[in-house]
């Protein structure tokens, strides 16, 4: 650019000097004519190269860039250089895109790139097979016009993409698909689709196996337990010297029966894909029932109080919810030493309904809290066994709450006590209107 400016400067200066010399040696008119002709020629030259540039811009092919003359030689050289750099970048970008598409096509999972309006920008072959798409025809089509499954359309609209969803394939009813949306860039989304039919089969086999084994064990255990109990009740049937062993047998069969009942409950809840019943549960009645059960279990060893918000009820499956909430109450009693205090409450918090059980019992160390809802996870095995625990209570609670879109919150401090809360979303709340006369 510096060169161009200097060239223009020297050219202008030379012209002015020539005109001045002409004026001095001839007349001012001749000098003016020379000046005008020179400026006109200069302008025509520029217009010519501007026209060439305009022609080239309509078809910008690298080897057709004009050579130019004077300042235009530099302009066209700079343009040539820029154009070459740009083509090089473009080649690199398209080869990177090609490599990405190759890699994405080789993935076993289906991948669909969606734009901000949820239209298909690109998809790989497994996505075409799993979702029944055809990229050639369906490019730029909204995904919800092509994948019309109600659950998927709902998932797309809720914009809560933390968890994937599972759907029965509409192309093959025996197959199950797991679909996850991942937002990226400026409101774009990546749809990842996996065929989880095999995993689902294994999971169902595992659940059925546990349910069947538990079911098969229930009858012989009931028979053995029943006989032991009858023998213990019959006068003289059990000699005093062996009564201790019989008592132990009765304790252990009772424990095994409880374990089997819990396993059956868990597998029943897990395999039940249907939404829970949607009955209105009168919470003040349920809270009183929980208090009575708690008092019976505590046998006067604890100070138990309840605090129920009036006119606040719940929608859900009564039996399931009663079992989950009473589990939290019985844990509080079992893990709080004699003389401890237990507070059961039901109230509103930030548009959500919260059932909580607070105790000042043994508490739990922070490191165990995240694992408490795992099956058979017990902080202290001997203590759990001593108090008649199976290690399945909290996993049953968590499953029941998840079925009701509720969450289990656990706050605890070792030696100071715990608070277990079931937090229900506003969709599950029934608030009765109070009529004032
Ligand atoms: P368990 O039948 O052993 O009680 P749960 O699944 O109900 O099994 O509870 C898992 C573990 O969580 C228990 O073994 C116990 O260590 C701990 N826990 C549950 N509730 C309480 C509580 N209120 N206070 C202290 N620890 C608790």
- Predicted pLDDT of residue 435: 61
pLDDT at 64 over 80: yes
Convert the pLDDT of each residue in 354-394 to its tens digit. 999 999 999 999 999 999 999 999 898 877 777 778 899 99
Instruction: Give the pLDDT score at 371.
Output: 95
Poorest-confidence range of 104-118, 331-345, 364-378, 422-436? Answer: 422-436
Q: Which residue's alpha carbon is at the smallest distance from atom 25 of ligand 1?
A: 363
**Kind and range of the H or E element at 111?**
strand 110-114
Cβ neighbours of 223 (radius 10 Å): 11
Using left for φ > 0, alpha for ψ between -120 and 50, and beta otherwise, residue 299 falls in left
CB contact set of 186 (below 8 Å; sequence gap of 6+) = 116
Question: Is the per-residue pLDDT at 6 higher than 80?
Answer: no
CB of 342 closer than 6 A to ligand 1?
A: no
Dump pLDDT digits (tens) for 200-242.
899 889 888 988 999 999 999 999 999 999 999 998 888 989 9
Per-residue pLDDT for 5 more than 90? no
Q: CA 184, CA 150: separation in Å to the nearest integer?
A: 24
pLDDT given at position 383: 77
Which pLDDT score, from 0 to 100, does residue 3 have? Answer: 61
Q: Is the CB of residue 372 below 6 angstroms from any atom belonging to ligand 1?
A: yes
Q: Which domains can be identified in the chain, with CATH numbers?
A: 2-98 (no CATH), 108-195 (3.30.450.20), 202-271 (1.10.287), 279-431 (3.30.565.10)
Residue 49 CB–ligand 1 contact under 6 Å: no
Q: Is the CB of 70 under 6 A from ligand 1?
A: no
Query: What pLDDT, on the 0 to 100 scale, is given for residue 8?
Result: 73
Those residues whose C-beta lies under 8 Å from the C-beta of residue 217, and which sit 6 or more positions away, are 256, 260
**Residue 342: what are its φ and ψ, rounded to 5°?**
-130, 130
Q: Please state, for a pLDDT cut of 70, what percent of the chain lies above it.
A: 98
Q: Where are the beta strands (DSSP E) in 150-251?
A: 165-168, 176-184, 188-195
Measured CA angle at 192 (ends 195, 159), to 5 deg: 120
DSSP 177: E
pLDDT (tens digit, 9 = 90+) per residue, 279-292?
A: 999 999 999 999 99
- On the question of pLDDT at 42 being above 60, the answer is yes
Question: pLDDT confidence of 75, banded at 50, 70, 90?
Answer: confident
User: Are the beta carbons of 182 and 189 closer than 8 angstroms?
Assistant: yes
104 or 143: whose pLDDT is higher?
A: 143
pLDDT in tens, 248-284: 999 999 999 999 999 999 988 888 778 788 899 999 9
Q: Find the mean pLDDT for residues 96-119.
A: 89
Comparing CA positions, the residue from 116, 276, 100, 293 lying closest to residue 189 is: 116
8 A C-beta contact, residue 295 and residue 258: no
As a whole number, mean pLDDT of residues 131-137 equals 92
Q: Are 330 and 297 contacting, i.e. CB atoms less than 8 angstroms apart?
A: yes
Tell me how far the alpha carbon of residue 214 is from its chain's centroid: 34
Q: Ligand 1: which of 356, 384, 399, 415 to mutate, judged by most atoms within 8 Å of the beta carbon?
A: 384
Cα-based angle 218, 221, 222 (whole degrees, multiple of 5): 80
Distance CA 430, CA 322 (A): 17
- pLDDT tens figures, 149-201: 888 999 999 888 988 999 888 888 889 999 999 999 888 999 999 999 999 89
Q: What's the CA gap between 402 and 392, in Å, rounded?
A: 16
Asked whether the predicted pLDDT for residue 115 surpasses 90, the reply is yes
Among 145, 108, 148, 142, which residue's Cα sits nearest to residue 125? 108
């Amino acid at each position: 650019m510096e060169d161009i400016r200097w060239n223009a400067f020297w050219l202008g200066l030379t012209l002015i000097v020539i005109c001045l010399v002409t004026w001095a040696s001839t007349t001012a008119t001749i000098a003016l004519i020379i000046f005008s002709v020179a400026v006109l020629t200069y302008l025509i030259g520029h217009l010519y190269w501007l026209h060439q540039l305009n022609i080239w811009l309509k078809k910008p092919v690298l080897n057709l860039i004009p050579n130019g003359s004077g300042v235009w030689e530099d302009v066209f050289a700079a343009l040539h250089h820029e154009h070459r750099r740009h083509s090089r970048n473009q080649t690199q970008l398209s080869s990177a895109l090609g490599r990405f598409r190759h890699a994405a096509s080789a993935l076993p999972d289906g991948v669909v790139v969606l734009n901000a309006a949820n239209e298909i920008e690109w998809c790989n072959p497994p996505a075409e097979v799993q979702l029944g798409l055809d990229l050639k025809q369906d490019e730029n089509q909204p995904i919800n016009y092509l994948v019309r499954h109600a659950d998927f359309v709902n998932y797309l609209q809720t914009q809560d993409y933390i968890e994937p969803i599972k759907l029965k394939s509409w192309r093959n009813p025996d197959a199950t698909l797991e679909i996850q949306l991942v937002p990226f860039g400026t409101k774009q989304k990546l749809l990842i689709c996996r065929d989880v039919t095999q995993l689902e089969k294994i999971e169902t086999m595992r659940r059925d196996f546990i349910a069947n084994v538990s079911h098969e064990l229930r009858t012989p255990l009931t028979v053995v337990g029943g006989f032991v109990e009858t023998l213990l009740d019959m006068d003289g049937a059990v000699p005093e010297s062996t009564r201790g062993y019989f008592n132990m047998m009765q304790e252990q069969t009772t424990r095994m029966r409880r374990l089997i009942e819990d396993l059956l409950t868990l597998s029943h809840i897990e395999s039940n894909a249907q939404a829970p019943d949607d009955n209105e549960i009168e919470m003040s009645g349920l809270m009183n029932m929980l208090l009575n059960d708690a008092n019976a279990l505590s046998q006067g060893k604890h100070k138990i109080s309840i605090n129920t918000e009036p006119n606040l009820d719940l929608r859900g499956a009564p039996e399931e919810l009663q079992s989950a909430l009473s589990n939290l109450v019985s844990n509080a009693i079992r893990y709080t030493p004699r003389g401890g205090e237990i507070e059961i409450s039901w109230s509103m918090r930030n548009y959500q309904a919260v059932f909580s059980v607070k105790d000042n019992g043994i508490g739990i160390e922070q490191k165990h809290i995240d694992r408490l809802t795992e099956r058979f996870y017990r902080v202290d095995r001997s203590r759990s066994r001593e108090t008649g625990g199976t290690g399945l209570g909290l996993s049953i609670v968590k499953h029941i709450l998840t079925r009701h879109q509720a969450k289990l919150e656990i706050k605890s401090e070792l030696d100071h006590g715990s608070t277990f809360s079931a937090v229900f979303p506003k969709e599950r709340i029934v608030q009765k209107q109070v009529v004032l006369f």
